[in-house]
Each structure stands twice: as C-alpha cells, then as structure tokens.
C-alpha cells in the first residue's frame, strides 16, 4: 500500500531490532528516509547494511539515550543526515522487571530513565524540526499500562505516563499542526520478548499459555502489524487523527480473555 511517505524523514528510537526494526523496514519500503537510533551498534549497523544493500535510505546512529544530553546529540546526528524530521517514533525501552516488592527506589528511578525520560527528551529536541514540517509523533506504549503485569512497576508506570504524554502533547502541539498518537501492543515476539520467555523453566509452555489468552486468533501480534499501524499514523491518510491510543493486540487489553 502507498502510504505517501516517499521522501519523508523519520527517526525511530530503539530501531535496530524487534518492533523498531520492523518500523524502519516498513518505512524504507515506502521510500522514506529513516534514521535508526539505538544503543546496540552491531544490530544497528547490520540493519543499515541490509537496507543499503536494497538501495533504501536508512542510516544508523549509535546513541545510548541515558540522559538529556545524549538525546540532544541523537537528534542532532539525525538531522545532520536528514535535514529535517517529518516523523518521530519513540520506541526504545525494556521491560526490566523493577517491581514494588523486588525492586528499590534507586532501581525504579533508573527504570524511568530507561523507559520514559528519553521519550520527553528526544521529543523536546526534535520539536523545532517537527514544527517546521508540521510533523507527527508516535509513541510506543504497552498493554502493561492498562492491564498491569505484576513485578514491573518501572516499566508499567513509564508506559502509562507515555499514554498521558501522548494526550498532553496532542493538546499542546495543536497550534503547530503536529499530530501525536500512541500505539499500544500487547504480546509481540521480539528478541527482548524471547529473552524474557527464556527466564521461565519451560519457555514453550509459558508461550502456549500466553497465546491461548489472546482473543483474536490465539496468536502473537507480529512486529509488522505494529509497523503498519505506525505507518498509517504518520501518513497523510491519518491527517485528522491526534491524541489517540491505538491498540494493536488481538483484543488482549479490552476483550474478555475467557472468550479465547
């Protein structure tokens, strides 16, 4: 499908693997000029080489988004490559299992830094460019913000705050014609998800149990399905959509899972 993204300039944080890489590949397929921002240099360079081999305009920028200054540098490096920013996709994060009982106040603050603060910081430094292009922001959240999961206070509260910031920014940026939306996945098979599964005594049994509770089709959502929702939201076909939380989860968060 033609999302009318040819020549558009997009920045994806956490774009080297999993859902982020699916977004990068989908945008590159639409002839968008994409920039991968990721801390994993090997994965970022590998994706860059893959897409360059297909003559697609994708550049990797290896940055750890650990503080405001690193976020400023990430945006500066991205715009040095693209000239402008039409779309920012905030995606980087990790379900780090910092819970109320098993964690500590210091670990909780560190979790917020890994999962929330860079969403604000990158958007802050990208804002002057987004104003010029009347661009879009898509924030990737998580079903944990809605359903809870247990044992992951840092990640869940970060993802809940991301949903609140999506609505807040949509209001604040109306005057500039900047649209802001969020995509909310539930169960998506990514390298980090597989790593989490491997922490259980029987990963396959755990996976079967999870999949059985996904109402639509009893299957995982694919990274490509998340990417398709993101491309729609940054495209002109979504030109009157802002402030929305789009759930791409097979009905996990809102349908009665007893139906499955």
Q: For the chain, what is the radius of gyration of the CA atoms?
A: 18
Number of H helices, E strands in the chain: 10, 7
Q: How many CB atoms lie within 10 A of CB 203?
A: 13
Q: Which of 125, 155, 193, 252 is the catalytic position?
A: 155
Task: State the Cα–Cα distance between residues 31 and 8, nearest whole angstrom.
Answer: 8
Is 155 a catalytic site residue?
yes
Q: Which helix (H) or strand (E) holds 65?
A: none
Burial class from Cβ neighbours inside 10 Å (0-12, 13-18, 19+) for residue 43 reads buried
Mark out the alpha helices in the chain (DSSP H runs). 18-29, 41-53, 68-82, 105-112, 118-133, 144-147, 153-172, 191-197, 203-211, 223-234
Catalytic residues: 155
């Amino acid at each position: 499908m033609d999302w009318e993204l040819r020549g558009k300039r997009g920045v994806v944080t956490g774009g080297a693997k999993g859902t982020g890489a699916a977004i990068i590949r989908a945008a590159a397929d639409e002839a968008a000029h994409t920039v991968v921002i990721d801390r994993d240099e090997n994965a970022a360079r590998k994706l860059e080489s893959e897409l360059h081999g297909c003559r697609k305009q994708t550049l990797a920028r290896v940055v750890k988004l650990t503080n405001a200054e690193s976020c400023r540098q990430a945006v500066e490096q991205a715009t040095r490559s693209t000239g402008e920013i039409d779309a920012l996709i905030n995606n980087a994060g990790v379900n780090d299992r910092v819970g109320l009982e098993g964690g500590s106040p210091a670990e909780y603050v560190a979790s917020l830094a890994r999962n929330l603060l860079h969403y604000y910081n990158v958007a802050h430094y990208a804002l002057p460019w987004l104003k010029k292009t009347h661009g879009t922001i898509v924030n990737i959240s998580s079903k944990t913000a809605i359903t809870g999961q247990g044992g992951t206070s840092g990640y869940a509260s970060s993802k809940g705050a991301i949903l609140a910031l999506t609505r807040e920014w949509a209001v604040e940026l109306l005057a500039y014609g900047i649209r802001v939306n969020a995509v909310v996945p539930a169960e998506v098979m990514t390298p980090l998800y597989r790593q989490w599964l491997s922490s259980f005594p029987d990963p396959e049994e755990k996976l079967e149990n999870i999949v059985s509770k996904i109402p639509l089709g009893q299957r995982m959502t694919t990274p490509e399905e998340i990417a398709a929702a993101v491309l729609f939201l940054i495209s002109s076909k979504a030109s009157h959509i802002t402030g929305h939380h789009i759930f791409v989860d097979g009905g996990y968060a809102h349908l009665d899972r007893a139906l499955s």
